[in-house]
Amino acid sequence: MPGDVPGVTLRKLLAESPVPIQFHNTLTKSKQPLETLEKGVVRMYNCGPTVYSYPHIGNFRSFTFADLLRRYLEYRGYEVRQVMNVTDVGHLVHDADEGEDKLEAQARREKKDPWQIARHYEEIFLGIREKLGFAKALAHPRATDHIGEMIAIIETLLAKGNAYVVGSNVYFSVASFPAYGRLSGNVGDGLEAGARIEPHPDKKDPRDFALWKHDPQHIMQWDSPWGRGFPGWHIECSAMSQKYLGETLDIHTGGEDNIFPHHECEIAQSECANGKPFCRLWMHARFLLVDGQKMSKSTGNFLTVEDVFRKGVTPQALRYALSSTHYRQQQNFTWEACSAAQQAVDRLAEYRRGLADPAGTAPLSAVKSALDAAQKAFESAMDDDLNVSEALGAVFTMIRDVNKAGPGPAAAAAALELFDRFDSVFNVGAAPPDVFTAEEQALLDARVAARAAKNWAESDRLRGVLEAGGVLVEDRARGQRARRRR
């Protein structure tokens, strides 16, 4: 029996054992192996944007992290069911159910109605996702399309004694859920400064939070068993995650500011309503900072994604800049980091171009060990809670080694295949094709004609003219190759 041979048994075991991916869980504050509810499937919910203005690059740090995570899980063979909501019922400036509704305030500023504001900025958000090359999510559900689902959960919570009605408002009773505070560490009297909530005349406990609110001034309103009103922010994510992914999620992500109160409240609502664990693994991206401060819409110290593009940073470079610092480290935004990211992605694109049109002669055997080592290093780095710096380090070491060998066609084909596999995760290496003006194209065509006529002097002159205008020309076995100087 082959199974009796120790080597074979070990190999079989290794093949059957799950991929050894470990992620840091905010809930347990430690790294743990990824275990999913269903083998090979990851149900992942990402807290999405509040669509009341242009998203800033801090928001996109958190979204890029979610995309990177999804892409790596797919690299590892998982089917990822990813849902990222769109918050289009504005939540209040203060988490304590007080203050101005951000979406409605913006509507007043722009002299539009909140629905127009929400649709406009949702479109901008989806457009940026596309520009940055994000994988398509299973759904981007809107809060306003799920009011009925939210009301149903609130009714369950009332029926089970986890919520109470005061006038036309409904509050969640935090005392009814002893595990409240487990995620954030904000427990009882130990509430951290900033998370402390003042007593409220309607609330039995200052920690209680609104599930449904009555406010005649609010423009977005819906009928409910408690009168016209609108839902609290937290209930939307409980309702939409459950509808699209089921009562227990494998992974839930957000930025670090979502931990408390938002995610703490989601856990309380969903676990009380369903009597099941809400989510197995919580992953949070730390902030993108500007001059040591959180980049934030409300303080005004932010750069929108379009601001960055307008400075000539390409989408690939921005993606690289936002994903190359580990997600659990705060990252300071600087233009120097952007230009370093631009150089890195240009180098990746140049390597890829070279492999697609190899100039060397080295056989496959000359690069095989560099490729194998790179794959091993890349995977073990990413398996360890997405250690992107080590993974990218492995990619650049591979580039140096392969370039040194000077690959011929077979070696280049193998190197290209591996590179594209790595790049299915980072999605930064395929340079957009250079676009030439009509004049530049005419010069390029004239140069091809000059070379065909063996008019080397004219071909060199045209090269000089093109280079002076920033278009570099190289002659390869298959013909002329042109690219724009960066």
Residue 237 contacts which entry, Zn ion, ligand AMP, none (Cβ below 5-8 A, type-dependent): Zn ion
Contacts to ligand AMP from residues 258-297, by CB under 6 A:
258, 285, 287-288, 294-296
Is residue 62 close enough to count as binding ligand AMP by CB under 6 A? yes
Provide the minimum distance between the beta carbon of 446 and ligand AMP in the complex, in angstroms, as a whole number: 50
Among 42, 47, 317, 386, binds Zn ion (CB under 5 A): 47
Contacts to Zn ion from residues 431-460, by CB under 5 A:
none
Provide the minimum distance between the beta carbon of 130 and ligand AMP in the complex, in angstroms, as a whole number: 18
Is residue 59 close enough to count as binding ligand AMP by CB under 6 A? yes
Which of the ranges 67-75, 234-242, 309-317, 349-357 carries the binding residues for Zn ion, by CB under 5 A? 234-242
Residue 43 contacts which entry, Zn ion, ligand AMP, none (Cβ below 5-8 A, type-dependent): none
For the chain, how far is it from start to end, CA to CA, in angstroms? 62
Residue 61 contacts which entry, ligand AMP, Zn ion, none (Cβ below 5-8 A, type-dependent): ligand AMP
Residue 257 contacts which entry, Zn ion, ligand AMP, none (Cβ below 5-8 A, type-dependent): ligand AMP
Nearer to ligand AMP, 123 or 460 (CB): 123
Which of the ranges 6-14, 41-49, 143-151, 184-192 carries the binding residues for Zn ion, by CB under 5 A? 41-49
Which of the ranges 144-152, 255-263, 373-381, 408-416 carries the binding residues for ligand AMP, by CB under 6 A? 255-263
Nearer to ligand AMP, 56 or 203 (CB): 56
Nearer to ligand AMP, 87 or 173 (CB): 87
Among 26, 49, 180, 282, binds ligand AMP (CB under 6 A): 49
Residue 255 contacts which entry, ligand AMP, Zn ion, none (Cβ below 5-8 A, type-dependent): ligand AMP
Residues that bind ligand AMP (CB under 6 A): 47, 49-50, 58-59, 61-62, 87, 254-255, 257-258, 285, 287-288, 294-296
Site for Zn ion, rule CB under 5 A:
47, 237
